[in-house]
Chains A and B, each alone.
Chain A
Amino acid sequence: MTTVSDTRDANLVAIFNSDEEADHPPSWLDRIDAWATRAGDAINPILVKETRQALKSRQFVATFGLLLFASLAWTIIGSMLLMPQIYYMPSAPRLLIGYYLVLAVPMLLVVPLAAYRSLEGEVDDGTLELLSVTALSPRQVVSGKLASAALQMLLYFIALFPCVAYAYTLRGVDLPTLALLMGMLVLAGLGLTIVALFFAPVTPGRTSQITSLLAVLSILLASEFALGSLAIELIQRGNPLSFSDTLFMIVSVLAIGITVAAILLTATAAKLTPESENRSTGIRIAVLVHMFCVIAVASFAVASGQAARTNPDSLIFIPMVLSIYLVGFWALVGALMAAESPAMTPRIRRELPGTFLGRLLLTWLTPGPATGLIFSMATFTVAAAAAHWLLWQLVESSASVWIGDALEGHRLMLVLVGCYLMFALVGVRTIVGMLRWKQPVKVSVGIAAMAVVLLVMSVIPYSIQLHWNDYRQFEYSAWQFTNWIWTIERAGNNSLDGLVVYLVIALGLISFLSHLLLVGRRVLPQRLATPQRVQEEYRRMAGLEPIAEEENDPLGLGISGSKP
């Protein structure tokens, strides 16, 4: 009698013995099998594992079952409710709203949350450490989680596709709008998964877990609501934009979205990377690409507006929004970079640029607070100059007087903000450096340090002068030049004294020059040579050097050498 365990054993024997050499030429089925195995080997192991886990998990089965049930129920109920108009009136929008809501819950809520839990679970269960000692890179771990989430979304999407097709046949929504809606849903799902992964804590601790879970839940629910409103509007009213505007919007959203996703994914991978390795250069490159995309999109928007002979005054918001974005972005990213650890392991120093030109251009991409600070300020300056150039282009083509004043104000504002940012970043670096003397400090402390510096810059001079004036109201004076809130407000009102401008510029310049003095050593040749044995090993790994037979089969399993 054959038992279940016998069958299992037989399966296993079949699996184990499947590698035995066949005594007949391979059939087309064998070839397909071999191809499938090769393809399977090329897939990210995390994706394989997560898919195996997901397909067996109760969460997936329940979600998938509920999705099928809800879509079927809505198909029946929705169709019944639309009777008899369904035969002679366009009825797709109403049904489609229901299908969107059914699909949006797993796509925008369940899958991102599952991805978050999955990465958090790796930390909680101690498996992240086991992954860390394998050949998998942190980037592969993160991309594997994302790919697994994408696969689940695809399954949900496919499951609901017949319903969407049914709704389309009822007329009332055109195909481009439908494609836009579904594309938006998929991209939003992927984006939210990336955000959820970014927030997944990489250190065990109840407080950080609860805080990050609440943050992720808030983001997911807010996005679900916002996207839901947008989708319903889109279904009911159609796409209000012209074809070219829609195309521009899609390209812009894709370009900016992909670069932001790249920053978040690189940062998530960096959180999983050991301290001894370079965790910063990848993020800096991603940030540079993002900056390039943002400026390119803004430039294209201004250029296309000018080409369409749109009133330049109505386009002024583009460089203005860009400038505000740049200030916020670089205050945040700069604070994180200024809080990086200055310790450079020999491993990182091996990767430093070796040539004069390389040192000149690429040193700022190497990790460390000193280079981070210069990188932040240099990129901010270039991006701010680009925003100002865009505004200047609009002024050139405008006949309005006020837009000329806006150009002056914009320039002054950028100079002031740049100087304050420089001073604040030097302050962040100093504070974090002092904290690091006592104990290791996370880069996220940089954000707190930035908040402290900005607060101190404005509150201290204000408090002193308030005390000096016996707590009575007082007028702005040059003593308040570090008070960035008041100074910028005065600059906005065009009532700032020239002396204050010079003082703020001096503050920024002194900060910059004093920082440069500290950075000087960085541009000297510091690169370390890679030991010959390590070089040989890497060459061997890359398959450039042959491997001895006994090295390849140390257990004597009879594995034939796999030399190329």
Chain B
Amino acid sequence: MITPAKPLPAVHSDHSVCIELRRLHRFFGNTKAVRDVSFAVSRGGVFGYIGPNGAGKTTSMRILATLDLPSYGEAFVDGFSVINDPELVRQRLGYMPDAFGTYRDVNCWEYLDFFARAYGLVGRERMRRLRWVLEFTGTRGMAEKPIRGLSKGMKQRLCLGRALIHDPAVLILDEPAAGLDPRARIELRRMIGELAGRGKTILVSSHILTELAEMCDSVGIIEQGQLLATGSVEEIQRERKQHRELVMRVLSSSAELTAELGRHHNVSNLVIDGQLVRMEFAGEVAQQAALVRELIMAGHEIAEVTARSKSLEDVFLQVTEGLVQ
């Protein structure tokens, strides 16, 4: 039996915070690509990194992947500094950049085999990892096909496989869904979900906000190198004191209701559309319940109340200003 030449290092530790950025700055001449960015992602979390083009997402991700150095600040992966212990970080990290980075004249199996070797995997273990990655990414049937002939979606799968080949604890995925068709996007989302279920910590950037909202536990919104908001979508809403949209279906006279709601300090942007009354409500859920109770006690016949939280897209649009560096 072939055994590895040396034991594999531990790629998972009991560190609760797997990704941490502390006051990260990166300047390119006069351009401040990243300014004072700090956030942390707990083990097993999926963190969505969103922002317009040129916001500083890729720069921060490259620093985390040990490909660039910060001008100031620190970044840690699984408790190890990306500046001082890059090789320890690399063992724990799977990085998928926005470019494919493939070789000519190699097939999928050879490509993955090369990276498995490059990560120090040997003998049977390498074969097992290769088998697992090809199965997981659904590229087993393509193993002997040259990379050149693969579709964009298949290339993306292959690149995800490459990032997973050494079984990293942390995955950094830079725009993994860019340019993929809907089916490939759904597949990718499934794979990311499954990896998160396996305890991987994932930092993913994307422009497709609806998908990020579905797969991420928390998000960070960055613009012009500055992190504007971080946390779950609800937390960001709460922090930003964002309004929820309330829609009431009122059977009684809506004119009196309008007058009463107009006096309420949490209500704004009141619109009456027949029996439907739309408004922006600034309070908490308990305050919302109190308002409904108050209206019913006042004799209004309220048949239906619907509250709609803002989507990630709404939050993103509200938080960012659409500025590009």
* Chain A residues within CB distance 8 Å of chain B: 5, 8-9, 11-12, 15-16, 18-19, 21, 34, 37-38, 41-42, 45-46, 48-49, 52-53, 56-57, 125-127, 129-136, 274-277, 345-347, 350, 438-439, 533-534, 537, 540-543, 546-548, 551-552, 554-555, 557-559, 562-564
Contacts and interface: CB of A to CB of B under 8 A. Distances in A.
Given A48-B117, A129-B101, A276-B84, A547 B8 contact: yes
A437 to B, nearest CB: 12
A64 to B, nearest CB: 15
A49 B144 contact: no
Nearest to A276: B83
B6 A541 contact: yes
Contact of B5 (A5, A41, A135): A41
Contact of A37 (B7, B106, B115, B123): B123
Contact of B106 (A12, A52, A552, A554): A52
A16 B133 CA distance: 12
B201 to A, nearest CB: 12
B182 interface: no
B176 to A, nearest CB: 15
Contacts of A554: 11-12, 167, 169, 199
Report whether over half of chain B's contact residues are helix, strand or loop; otherwise say mixed: loop
Contact of B84 (A18, A347, A552): A347
Nearest to B111: A49
B164 to A, nearest CB: 9
Contacts of A438: 29
Nearest to B130: A16
Interface string B1-24: 111111111111000000000000
A34 B79 CA distance: 38
B140 interface: yes
A49 B140 contact: no
30 contacts: A12-B140, A18-B127, A19-B124, A37-B123, A41-B2, A42-B5, A49-B110, A125-B102, A126-B101, A129-B67, A129-B97, A130-B162, A132-B67, A133-B66, A135-B90, A274-B67, A277-B86, A346-B83, A346-B84, A534-B85, A537-B10, A537-B85, A537-B88, A540-B9, A547-B7, A547-B8, A551-B11, A551-B12, A555-B198, A562-B8
A524 B248 CA distance: 75
B97 A135 contact: no
B7 A134 contact: no
A557 B128 contact: yes
Contacts of A45: 114, 117-118
B80 interface: yes
Contacts of B122: 38, 41
Given A135-B119, A552-B7, A127 B102 contact: yes
A152 to B, nearest CB: 14
A21 to B, nearest CB: 8
A275 B69 contact: yes
Nearest to B84: A347
Contacts of A542: 6
Contact of B7 (A56, A133, A543): A543
- Which of B80, B105, B119 has the most A CB atoms < 10 Å from its CB? B105
A396 to B, nearest CB: 55
A18 B123 CA distance: 11
Q: What band does the interface of chain B fall in when counting residues whose beta carbon is under 8 Å from A?
A: 35 or more
A559 B125 contact: yes
Interface in B64-79: 65-67, 69, 79
Contacts of A540: 7, 9-10
B101 A541 contact: no
Contact of A562 (B3, B69, B109): B3
Contact of B83 (A12, A126, A347): A347
B27 to A, nearest CB: 9
Given A37-B123, A537-B85, 12 more contacts: A8-B143, A9-B141, A34-B1, A49-B103, A56-B105, A125-B101, A133-B93, A346-B84, A547-B8, A554-B167, A557-B132, A562-B8
Contacts of A53: 103-106
A540 B67 CA distance: 25
A121 B247 CA distance: 59
A558 B132 CA distance: 11
B129 interface: yes
Interface in B175-221: 198-199
Interface in B295-317: none
B260 interface: no
B249 interface: no
B281 interface: no
A153 to B, nearest CB: 19
A562 B11 contact: no
Contacts of B106: 49, 52-53, 56
A46 B114 CA distance: 8
A562 B128 contact: no
A8 to B, nearest CB: 5
B234 to A, nearest CB: 31
For the complex of A and B, 5 pairs with smallest distance between CB atoms = A45-B117, A134-B118, A41-B122, A19-B124, A551-B10
Contact of A38 (B80, B123, B125, B130): B123
A274 B79 CA distance: 20
B86 A274 contact: yes
B214 to A, nearest CB: 24
A93 to B, nearest CB: 40
A41 B6 CA distance: 12
B7 A130 contact: no
Given A133-B67, A134-B90, A276-B69, A57 B104 contact: yes
B283 interface: no
Contacts of A5: 141
A552 B169 CA distance: 12
A15 B127 contact: yes
B120 interface: yes
Nearest to B11: A554
B95 interface: yes
B9 A541 contact: yes
- Which of B2, B79, B85 has the most A CB atoms < 10 Å from its CB? B85
Contacts of A8: 143-144
B84 A562 contact: no
A481 to B, nearest CB: 40
B143 A12 contact: yes
B239 interface: no
B255 interface: no
Contacts of A56: 105-106
Contacts of B126: 41
Nearest to B135: A16
Contacts of A439: 29
A129 B114 CA distance: 15
Given A37-B123, A41-B122, A555 B5 contact: no
B87 interface: yes
A564 B6 CA distance: 8
A186 to B, nearest CB: 26
A127 B88 CA distance: 20
Contacts of B66: 132-133, 274
B103 A127 contact: yes
Contact of A543 (B6, B88, B199): B6
A370 to B, nearest CB: 21
Contacts of B230: none
B128 A559 contact: yes
A167 B123 CA distance: 45
B99 interface: yes
B191 to A, nearest CB: 14
- Which of B5, B162, B169 has the most A CB atoms < 10 Å from its CB? B5
B131 interface: yes
A93 B167 CA distance: 60
Contacts of A57: 104-105
A541 B4 CA distance: 12
A512 B46 CA distance: 57
B226 interface: no
A22 to B, nearest CB: 10
